[in-house]
Structure formats: structure tokens, C-alpha cells
Structure 1
Amino acid sequence: MTEERTIVPLLEPREGIPAVIADDAALTRVVEAFARGEGPVAVDAERASGYRYGNRAYLVQLRREGAGTALIDPISCPDLSSLDTALAEAEIVLHAASQDLPCLFEVGFSPRRLFDTELAGRLLGYERVGLGTMVETVLGLRLEKGHSAADWSTRPLPEDWLRYAALDVEVLVELRDSLHAELTESGKLEWAREEFAAVLGMPPAPPRSDPWRRTSGIHKVRNVRALAIVRELWTMRDRIARENDLAPGRVLPDSAIVAAALDVPRTRKALTEISAFTGRSARRHMSDWLNAVNRARALPDGQLPQPSTPGDGPPPANRWPDRDPAAAKRLAAARAVVTALAEEHHMPAENLLQPDVVRRLTWEPPEPVTDETVTERLRALGARAWQVSLTADPLATALSRLAG
């Protein structure tokens, strides 16, 4: 009979809850302490997604051997470039780094060396890679995750939130050390290093040309006049949200924008009869919403938005059998190869080779299909060296069979 593992709850930071760093003098002391510390630096950031406009950090947590834990208020201390300089040579440990790096960049903190514990967990084949689950599975410790969706723009921050924030970095270095050992033992450490470098080297996403097209439910909108209503309402909402530092969804939900585009209300009364416009914030700006609808109704045909044009990539995979049956067969064969290799190496298929790379390779395969041409195409599509070494030859074999 297998003995059950005892899980120990993490209830308090080892040195207690540190005071929040909120002035330059205190920040200078933290920078000096962390510069004197040793080893990797655990870092986390708390945002106010769903409450405030944008994704800026409202708390930055750090922990390092010899320095302890620091909680920094980046609203009071918006420039962490001195900390960045002090830790330039240190390995920074983050969980799901791609989520936190953009808001850390905004405050001048740009890691040069990274260890991403979530990504390491994926490469090692862990089925669930949330921080709480990983800490429990790997270290036998339980983190309480009750405040992850809180409004971290709140000031002052409640003590139990600060405790939660400090505990998020309490054992992150220990988790890193255990995963590093597993990566080494499984022969995946170099793969992980390539992945970490790729995360750091990823350029910022360019601004979307038509961000309003991502309105949830826009697929229900069938004509260009209604699309114009979506565009005008989205633009008005974004302006109000930006001016008031509110998440757009708190000003007006996407469902309201789509409902108005479908109903085309002509009067304030008609607008108020749409259920999604009954929220307090929505009612406060009724004149703005009606003006936006009327602007869209009055636009000349030449200024109406057109249905979205295809991007530079292949069409959705579910359309391939009709558009190009041969490409659909290539995609199925390539997916089977990647899935089998992923199972062999105990990791998700999307980490072995990104789905977009597989689609682009099979939609427009190189001619002729050889090990060399597939290798070249994978590299051009951004596959890492370790991914190319594992997948190029078997993919070339599968695709050449279909070509023949």
C-alpha cells in the first residue's frame, strides 16, 4: 500500500511579512541588500487585470538568499532600473514568465538570464503547472492562492494580501532547484535553456491595427454597418476606460457592444432596453453610447469597415479539407509525428513544436521535401535548435511519403 505524502501548508513567510517599499531611500537599501545576496532571484508581479486599464504591475516581489524578501510598490517607485543593474548577472526565476515580463519591462526591470518554473514543468511532462500545484507536487508544500484575482491597485494593501504576495516567492528558488535537477537528469536542461532564452528574446507584440475586431461575440455581427457600430462603441469605451483608468469591461461589457450592433437602437430608451446596458457604469455614459451608434449609422458607405481580411498565415485548420485536401493530409501526418515524439519525450506536443510552426510547414512545404529543406524551413519559422533536431527528420520522412 502506497503511503500518502504529507502536504505542509505554507502559512507565514520565514522572516514575517516585510514592509512595502514605497520610497527611494527604502528602495536603495533593497537594491544594496539584493546586490550582496547570492544565487538566483525569485521574482513575481501582481497586476490589477479586470480592474484597471492596461496590465501594469502594482506590486513586485523578490527573494534572494542573503537578502530575504522584498515587496516593492511600483506606483510609488516606478523606476526599478537600479535594481535591474544590480541584478544584471543574476538568474531571475519567474513562474509563467511571459505573463510578468511585460509589466516588469515597464518599470525598468529586464532579466538577462531566466529560469521559468512553469515552462520547466511543461518540458518535464507535469500535467498541471500552476504555481500552487507545482509547489505542492514537487516540494510537498501548499500555497494559498486566494488573492490571485484581487484588485492589486488597492491602497493600502491588506495584510493578508501582502502575506500571500510574500509567500509566492518564498519557495520559488527551491522549486527552481528541484526542477533544475530533474531537467539535468532527464537530459532536457539544454532544451530548457533554449526555451528560456527564446522567452527573453521574444519581441513585444506590435499594436493591433484593428483591436476592436477582438470584441467577444463579434462573429454574430454579419453586416458592415453593424461592424461600424462595434468599432464606434469599442473606441468610445476605450477612451472612457483610459481616461478613468478602468478595465474596459468594467465600463461596458463586450456583450453590450455586440447587442447594440445587432439591435441598432435609435433612441436612448431603446438603448436602455438592452439588458447589457443596465450596469451602473454603462448607464453613466448613455449619451456617449448613443452618439457612437448614431455616428456609425451616419457613416457613408465608403467609410464602413470591411470584414476582416485573412492574416499572413494559413487558414484555420478546419477549412483545409475543402481548401486544400493535400495540405490537410500533410497536417494530419505532421501532427501524428509531433504527438508521437511528444509522448516519447513526456511533454505536451505544443512544447515540442509550436502548432503554428506545424501549420505553416504543412500548408507550404519546401520543394523538394528533404531533411535539409525541412530543417531550413523549421529554423526560418522560429523553431529552436533542440526542436529541429528532434522533429526535422521524422517530419521530412512523413511529408516526403505524401509528396511521392
Structure 2
Amino acid sequence: MTTPADTPLPEDLEAPGTTPEDVDEAPAEPEAPPAPLLLLADGLPPLIDTEAALVEYCARLAAGTGPVAIDAERASGYRYSGRAYLIQLRRNGSGTGLVDPVAFDSLAPLAEALEGTEWILHAATQDLPCLTEVGLYPSALFDTELAGRLLGYPRVGLATLVETLVGFRMKKEHSAADWSTRPLPESWLEYAALDVEVLVELRDLLAAELEETGKAEWARQEFDALRSFTPTPRVDAWRRTSGLHRVRGRRALAAVKALWETRDELAERRDVTPGRIIPDAAIVAAAVAMPADRAELQGVKGFHGRGAERYAARWVDALTEAAELDEDDLPSRSPRGDGPPVPRAWAEKDPVAAVRLQLAREAVLALSAQHSIPVENLLTPDTLRRTLWSPPATRDPGDLLDAVVDQLTALGARAWQVALTAPVIVTAVLEADRSAQTPPETAPEAPETPAAAEAPEGQDDESDGSGS
């Protein structure tokens, strides 16, 4: 017998000793107290902005032991350049140093003190370019963010990892500050110093977990690859203009490109973020309206600010240039790349490749779950697509595996990534080929109808359609 869900159970079937009132009044689980706030153990050190102070700290740094925690502050959102406006360092036995790179023509003493040490960085790809710019190059490094990804932590921000593993809560109120400001406020310097306060301890905890999970060698290969990291130049960066989807026609696209490049040139010259000259919305609005002169331009939404008026003649020149371009020189809607087509077009262009991609994606997703690693860290989507769009010609399983290994390696995959993903890519290639070669199953012959099977002997099977 079943009882409808909205029908109260008889009194003798209720759980003994409980009533609805008891359930409603059950005390809530007490919330865990917040983690203690991370504070500077040695107080705030003075800003290092003189040669004497730099030499003194570098001597202490060289005398310290173990890896060196390093961080850098930039002025993203305020400046065009990605230069470092503050460099924070901390090492056991050396304490914390806050170096103002703007104050020095050369940081050679710091580079010498760091020679041969392991750097600890969080999100190394963000800080390495600006550190390289001032002559600092790592001999070895450990990226705490990347280690967190390899270990499968769902959130790998510095504050989250510090709270999860070290047990302290971090202040983050100055994360979007303009670090090109001088003098730097003391509260900002304290915030910056806290970013390296427990980075050594966090590194040690993550390193131990990498060893326990068998991922230490994977991490080492990733960290070695990071040492030679250089940002990939953006091709057709103007295509990232916000709102570009509202622009119709190649002529209007040319206007966006001309305005964007003009703005970028001005922003680089003035060392300000491009959006502070004119916003993307103004570029899109002008490309749609195509004003012919300054008066029309000032009627376009977004062209009323200081940057819009100051460079009005440049904006008009850019729009005129776009209006006069030959048809053959107008940009296309989609950028011309050297890679395979977008995945949604594979089924039409190469159905077998589309099947390969689907099978390989499913297999890589399974590997990702099995090893608790984000898919993009297991193998970049671009590497996977390039390999599956143009796989090696051989279909001998052993030769195909060797060729896929070579192909993935040439595309920049690390040895640990290749070892995990090459076999499933080979399987996807072979299964897709087999499915393409297997003819579709023919429909089975229709069975005899019961009426025909049971027709009396001597009676014609064919009906005359009379229904009698």
C-alpha cells in the first residue's frame, strides 16, 4: 500500500518521539567562527627606495634560507603599461622587503641576491612579465595558484587558499588600487606585505600535498615551463571591443578597428588605460553612426568627455580612413587564423573529425574527473582541437600513438599531459574511423502479420479491399 505524499501518516507510523513541532524547533547548526585575520608578524617594514636601503636588504635576502616569496603590484585599469610599481619579497631569516622599482635605474643588486633561489609566486603568469621587465628572472619557481589547480581545489585565489590551508583570513580592500600613486599610503603597503607573509608556508603545504597525491612531477614540469613564459601577443586585439556584436557590415568593422587603434596609440603614449580616453561603447556607437565631421561626432553617445573632445580630429580622421578603404581591404567578421574551424562547423566540414572531437572531449572530461584536474590544465582546448582536426595519417595503433605523442609535444603539451591524453586521443581517432566505415544497419524484413500467418489453407492472402 502507498500513501500519497500530502497525506499525513497515521499517528502510529510517525517516528517515535518526534512531532512536526519538534522538527521546526530543532536548533540550527552553529556557524563556524571566522578565521583570524592575517597580520604582519614583524610589523610593516619601511619602503625601500634608496640605493643604500636596497643594498642592505639584498644582503639580508642573500643570507636567508629556503625559497623566496615574491609578489608585484601593477596599476591595471589606470595605466597602459603592465610595469611593476611595487615588488614584495619575503624569505626565512630575511624578513619582508618592499621595493619601489620606480625609484631605481637598475635592480641588479636584487637580481644578484635572487640568483639560484626558488621563487614562490601566486598566478605567476601575471607577475613574471613585469618582473622580467626590471631584470629579474627566476632560476626555479613554485606557483601556488597552479599547484592549487593541479590538486583540484575549486577556488584557487590567494585569500581562499590561505584561509583553507593556513587558517588565516586576508584583507583584500586595496586589490584594485592605483599602485602608480606616489607616495604610497601606509595601509596599501601593509596590504601588499601581507601578500607574501605566509606564501612560504602555503607553498610547503601545497608541495606536501602534491607529493602525497603523486602530482609533484606534474607540477615540476608545469613550473619549469612557466620559467620561460612570455605573453602571447594578441592578434586583432581590436576584435575584443565590448559590444562589437552590434556592429553590422565590414565598413563599420573597419571603423571600429581604426578608432580602436587610434585610441590604443594615444593610450600607450600617455600611459593610461585606453578606456579612460574613450570607452568601447563610444567606439561602437561611432562605427554604427559613421559621423562625417566633428559636429556630427560630438552628437554621438560617448563623445562628450575630455578624451573625446581633446582628440576629436583624430577620431574623425580614423572614421574617414575607414570610409575610404577599398572593399578588398575591409576586415572580415571572423579573424583569419591558422587553426581549425570553430567546433560547431566540424560536423559540416568533416563529420569524422566531429566524431573524433566528441569522443576525445568525453574521454578528457573523464580523465579530468578521475585526477581532479581542470580540463584546461589537463590539455588546452586549442591543442586538443588542432590534434583532432589534423591527426597523423597512420592508423596502426602503435605508430599512431607515437605520432600523436610527437604532435602533442610539438604543440607545447608537457610530458605528463601527453602521457595521460595521447592514449585517449588515439582511441578517439580509431573509433571515429571505424564508425565512419561501418555501413548503416539495414532495416529487418517486416514479420508476417498474424492474419496472414493464420489464413485458412486455400484462401488467398491478398485482400480485395472489400472488408468482408
Scaled by the length of structure 2, what TM-score is found? 0.81
Conserved? CA contact 1:63–1:70, under 8 Å: yes
**Counterpart residue type for residue 47 of structure 2:** V
In 2, Cα distance between equivalents of 1:373 and 1:317:
23
In 2, Cα distance between equivalents of 1:53 and 1:179:
35
SS at match of 1:44: strand
SS at match of 1:360: helix
Q: What's the CA shift for 1:213?
A: 3.5
Task: Give the one of 243, 251, 254 matched to 1:228.
Answer: 254
Task: Give the one of 77, 85, 105 matched to 1:58.
Answer: 85
Deviates more, 1:244-253 or 1:373-382: 373-382
Coordinate RMSD, CA, aligned:
2.0
What are the residue-to-residue correspondences of 1:360-399 with 2, within 5 Å?
360-369=386-395, 370=397, 371-399=401-429
What is the match of residue 166 of structure 2? 139
Conserved? CA contact 1:84–1:108, under 8 Å: yes
What are the residue-to-residue correspondences of 1:175-254 with 2, within 5 Å?
175-206=202-233, 208=234, 210-254=236-280
Deviates more, 1:125-134 or 1:22-31: 22-31
Task: Give the one of 138, 143, 148 matched to 1:116.
Answer: 143
Conserved? CA contact 1:120–1:179, under 8 Å: yes
**Taking structure 1 as reference, are residues 104 and 65 closer, same or farther at Cα in structure 2, changes over 3 Å only?**
same
In 2, Cα distance between equivalents of 1:91 and 1:394:
35
In 1, Cα distance between equivalents of 2:329 and 2:404:
44
What is the match of residue 300 of structure 2? 274
**Counterpart residue type for residue 189 of structure 1:** A
In 1, Cα distance between equivalents of 2:31 and 2:326:
74
Select the structure of larger CA radius of gyration: 2
In 1, Cα distance between equivalents of 2:276 and 2:304:
12
In 2, Cα distance between equivalents of 1:340 and 1:146:
39
Conserved? CA contact 2:236–2:335, under 8 Å: no
- Name the one with the larger helix percent: 1
- Identify unmatched segments of 5+ residues in structure 1: none
In 1, Cα distance between equivalents of 2:391 and 2:372:
27
Q: Which has the higher contact order (CA 8 A, sep 6+)?
A: 1
In 1, Cα distance between equivalents of 2:244 and 2:36:
47
**Taking structure 1 as reference, are residues 242 and 372 closer, same or farther at Cα in structure 2, changes over 3 Å only?**
closer
Sequence identity percentage: 55
What is the match of residue 292 of structure 1? 318
Conserved? CA contact 2:129–2:230, under 8 Å: no
What is the match of residue 465 of structure 2? none
In 1, Cα distance between equivalents of 2:165 and 2:383:
32
**Counterpart residue type for residue 244 of structure 2:** I
SS at match of 1:315: coil
Conserved? CA contact 2:125–2:229, under 8 Å: no
In 2, Cα distance between equivalents of 1:243 and 1:188:
46
Deviates more, 1:216-225 or 1:192-201: 216-225
**Counterpart residue type for residue 261 of structure 2:** T
- Identify unmatched segments of 5+ residues in structure 2: 1-28, 435-468
In 1, Cα distance between equivalents of 2:135 and 2:92:
23
Q: What's the CA shift for 1:51?
A: 0.4
In 2, Cα distance between equivalents of 1:244 and 1:337:
50
Scaled by the length of structure 1, what TM-score is found? 0.94
Q: What's the CA shift for 1:79?
A: 2.5
What is the match of residue 257 of structure 1? 283
In 2, Cα distance between equivalents of 1:268 and 1:39:
62
